């Protein structure tokens, strides 16, 4: 079966931390492709009102255009209402019977996954790939992995990667404060942000 990874999120904006995690997952898990899947209306966050869906899509496209195994997926943007990972995985698995999906998250998201909408379906329909060493206290992360495996029969793979403390919120704050964001994002995304005056107050 084809092994496809999914990187979900608001990507407001996409940054090098996203790309670094995706590339490490691709290499260490042996994936065939990774889908970058921006959320339209995530229930756990306020809908971003600083940029449009199209602008987020265009920034993702710029960030991944030079990587042949990174692909943009707008499946969640094309749906109405809240976008839940469980529903997205149902849709994808029904349409692609020959694909095994790997949902890629940071260690901080892994700790919260049991609080997601319909977590059992998420764990039934994919293998969760999470950032491992240096991203969180090892004991805390190991305990969460054991909890999810025991209570949800979750399939979890940890990928090792150096700590990269970059967040979209920090980038937006730095732009608003006229601070440099060089090396936080691909240069072409920085150019796009500056050209369209995104995140400036």
Count the domains in the chain.
1
What pLDDT does residue 57 have? 97
**Both tokens assigned to 139:** 């004991």
What pLDDT does residue 24 have? 95
Does 138 map to a domain?
yes
How many of the other CB atoms lie within 10 Å of CB of 176?
Answer: 12
- Supply the range of the domain harboring residue 62: 2-165
Q: Across the beta sheet with 33-38, what order do the strands follow?
A: 70-72, 33-38, 2-9, 99-105, 127-131, 156-159
Instruction: Say which CATH number the domain at 80 has.
Output: 3.40.50.620
Does 19 map to a domain?
yes
Q: pLDDT class for 165, splitting at 50, 70, 90?
A: confident
Does 200 map to a domain?
no
Dihedral angle at the C-alpha atoms of 81, 17, 66, 13, nearest 10 degrees? 40
Does 189 map to a domain?
no
The pTM (predicted TM-score) of the whole model is 0.92
Does 23 map to a domain?
yes
Task: Using CB atoms within 10 Å of the CB of residue 7, give its burial: 0 to 12 exposed, 13 to 18 middle, 19+ buried.
Answer: buried
């Amino acid at each position: 079966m084809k092994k496809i990874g999914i990187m979900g999120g608001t990507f407001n904006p996409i940054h090098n931390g996203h790309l670094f995690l995706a590339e490490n997952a691709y290499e260490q898990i042996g994936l065939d492709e990774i889908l970058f899947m921006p959320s339209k209306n995530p229930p756990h966050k306020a809908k971003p009102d600083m940029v449009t869906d199209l602008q987020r899509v265009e920034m993702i496209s710029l960030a991944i255009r030079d990587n042949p195994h990174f692909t943009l997926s707008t499946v969640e943007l094309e749906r109405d209402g809240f976008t839940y990972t469980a529903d997205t995985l149902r849709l994808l698995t029904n349409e692609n019977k020959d694909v095994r999906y790997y949902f890629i998250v940071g260690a901080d998201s892994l700790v919260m996954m049991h609080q997601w909408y319909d977590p059992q379906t998420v764990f039934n329909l994919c293998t969760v790939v999470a950032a491992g060493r240096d991203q969180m206290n090892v004991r805390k992360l190991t305990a969460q992995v054991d909890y999810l495996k025991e209570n949800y029969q979750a399939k979890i793979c940890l990928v090792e990667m150096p700590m990269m403390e970059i967040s979209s919120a920090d980038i937006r704050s730095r732009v608003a404060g006229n601070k440099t964001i060089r090396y936080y994002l691909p240069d072409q995304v920085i150019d796009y942000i500056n050209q369209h005056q995104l995140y400036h107050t």
